[in-house]
Structure 1
Amino acid sequence: MENLPKKIRSKKLNSRVDLTAMVSVSFLLIIFFMVVGELSKPKVMDLNLPDLDCDDCFPTYVEENRCLTILLDKNNRIISYSGLIPTPANTSKKMEYGKNGIRKELLEKNKMALEYSAKHGKPGRGVVVMIKPSKNSNYGNLIEILDELKIANIDFYNIDSEFTPEETKLLASK
């Protein structure tokens, strides 16, 4: 029995897998998809529209003292006037964007409209702004005006693309 060959046992290898690289790649993928998901969200602005079936929801007549019209034209031009175009309360003004331009005008007109409404027994009714972008204005101008309305806390505005003949003449003259 002594001459029997010894059994050769195979060496058991340690079967450990190093997952360090896999963890690093998975964290990079998680971060990548989080960033892409955040960047791909659409940038939107809330736009509240009246219910079309409601007759009393949208005023059909606005006092002339509470009305301000803003005409948008090419090259970032803004022309504003108060009241109605045949008899504007103030002469039309050529304005600029920013805090010393249209924002200042919006704040002043809103304050005047609030005072006028309070005197006539209807407190809290501010200025109603008509925004009329011309075919020559760009989309960025409309967004800037909507931003200015939001900054000035003006809730009632209308966007209309139809110009009266008087407004067309006013745009051509300025």
Structure 2
Amino acid sequence: MAEIQEKADSGKGGKKRAKKMSTHLDMTPMVDLAFLLLTFFMLTTSFSKPQTMEIRTPIDENKPENDTPIKASNALTILLGEEDKVYYYFGLGNPDENPEVEVTDFSNNGIRQVLLSQRVKDNPKMVVMIKPTEASRYKNMVDIFDEMKITDTKKFALVDITEQDKQLLANR
């Protein structure tokens, strides 16, 4: 609260002077109110919850009967390269097929448009195989998983890069 303190009259004779008054503000109630409001808003605010992506793993990777054969017409292979470049081709990468390797990036007009293309979306059996190279960064793998989520791609797998894929990148 604010209080006004008056100085006592010095008792000197003569002319009457106006009394000098000084003010003193007690800041304690305002600080208490500030901490109450801060506590209230901290406790009533809902914090953002972390979003997780469900990853399904095979039961036993060593059993050959768990491997599902994929036709070349139902495969899209994405190779994650250095400097945030994304290479892709349709098929399994057999040298006999001579796949045409295209280069793109992670922008809206990049790999997202490939995943949203009619060739991919019209084929319900399409499987996207993601193959990171040794020069790619972890961020690129997270970005491609985000693109799979954004484009609502149901079938995709993280696969080791093969020598054929390395050869395709070298020939590009």
TM-score by length of 2: 0.66
Secondary structure of the 2:89 match is strand
Equivalent residues of 1:111, 1:126 under 8 A apart = no
C-alpha deviation, 1:157, in angstroms = 0.6
Equivalent residues of 1:66, 1:128 under 8 A apart = yes
**Aligned amino acid, residue 158 of structure 2:** I
- Specify whether residues 173 and 30 from structure 1 end up closer, same or farther in structure 2 by C-alpha distance, changes over 3 A only: farther
| Percent of paired sites with the same residue | 27
Question: What residue number does 2:165 align with?
Answer: 167
Equivalent residues of 1:71, 1:80 under 8 A apart = yes
Q: Based on CA coordinates, which of the two structures has the bigger radius of gyration?
A: 2
Question: What residue number does 2:23 align with?
Answer: none
Between the aligned partners of 1:85 and 1:128, the Cα distance in structure 2 is: 14
- Specify whether residues 33 and 171 from structure 1 end up closer, same or farther in structure 2 by C-alpha distance, changes over 3 A only: farther
C-alpha deviation, 1:89, in angstroms = 6.8
**1:64 to 2:72 alignment:** yes
Q: Once superposed, which parts of structure 1, at least 4 consecutive aligned residues long, lie more than 6 Å away?
A: none
C-alpha deviation, 1:33, in angstroms = 5.9
Question: What residue number does 1:26 align with?
Answer: 36
Question: What residue number does 2:112 align with?
Answer: 103
TM-score by length of 1: 0.65
**Aligned amino acid, residue 128 of structure 1:** V
Q: Decide which structure has greater helix share.
A: 1
Unaligned residue ranges in structure 2 (runs of 5+): 1-27
Summarize deviations over 1:97-118 as a string: whole Å, max 9, x none: 2232211211223234x2xxxx
**1:76 to 2:84 alignment:** yes
- Specify whether residues 83 and 29 from structure 1 end up closer, same or farther in structure 2 by C-alpha distance, changes over 3 A only: same
Between the aligned partners of 2:78 and 2:113, the Cα distance in structure 1 is: 14
Between the aligned partners of 2:104 and 2:58, the Cα distance in structure 1 is: 33
C-alpha deviation, 1:84, in angstroms = 1.5
Question: What residue number does 1:120 align with?
Answer: none
Between the aligned partners of 2:97 and 2:41, the Cα distance in structure 1 is: 58
Unaligned residue ranges in structure 1 (runs of 5+): 1-17, 115-124
Secondary structure of the 1:48 match is coil
RMSD, matched Cα? 2.9
**1:8-19 alignment runs, 5 A limit:** none
**Aligned amino acid, residue 164 of structure 1:** T
Q: Decide which structure has greater strand share.
A: 2
Between the aligned partners of 2:120 and 2:137, the Cα distance in structure 1 is: 26
Provide the aligned length of Structure 1 versus Structure 2: 139
Between the aligned partners of 1:110 and 1:158, the Cα distance in structure 2 is: 15
- Specify whether residues 32 and 173 from structure 1 end up closer, same or farther in structure 2 by C-alpha distance, changes over 3 A only: farther
